[in-house]
Amino acid sequence: ARVYHHASGDRGSGFCVYADISLSIKHLRKRYGARAEKVMIIDLDAHQGNGHERDFLDDPENTCIIDAYNPRIFPQDSIAEAAIQGGIKVFKYMDDKEYNDTVNTVIEKHVERFKPNIIYYNAGTDCMADDPLGNLSLSPQGIMDRDELVFRCARDNNIPIVMVLSGGYQMYKCTLYLREH
């Protein structure tokens, strides 16, 4: 799946035309009720996920949003920031270890506190070094380690997870890395 995390329920934004995460969560809650009441969104794209943040701005008791993003790039949405319970502002100088240690600490803290029924994980790759839009510096291995820590946390806590993809504007680098390993 390709994520459109800048779109909200009432408008498109950035390269995003509709709010797929928000729509999916609303459908899940309608269909499964209390079994899908407490949803955690972990957005690790380099850009702030302002669309779903705006959609769930008034629902912090049922929707916990963790967002690791570069605050110096689009969309810089201060209204949507109010919905983020686990905000991680990341910058170009953060290496793989610092980034992943910080993300892991924030996720574990909020999973323990919030106890979600399900996790939606937006696994953006525009946080990779030299990405023209993300302006961050993770290596391909750092991104794979990041994905592994998110899945390990979900597995260790017996929480179902939905992984969606977004951002990442240098696919050649990922392909070369995968061929080497």
Which residues are annotated as catalytic?
6
Please state the separation of Cα 46 from the chain's center in Å.
9
Determine contact, residues 22/51, Cβ cutoff 8 Å: yes
The encoded tokens of residue 161 equal 């997870």
Q: How far apart are CA 114 and CA 63, in angstroms?
A: 9
Determine contact, residues 42/64, Cβ cutoff 8 Å: no
166 beta partners: 124
The encoded tokens of residue 18 equal 């509709």
Cα–Cα nearest to 43, from 89, 11, 109, 97: 89
Q: How far apart are CA 80 and CA 48, in angstroms?
A: 9
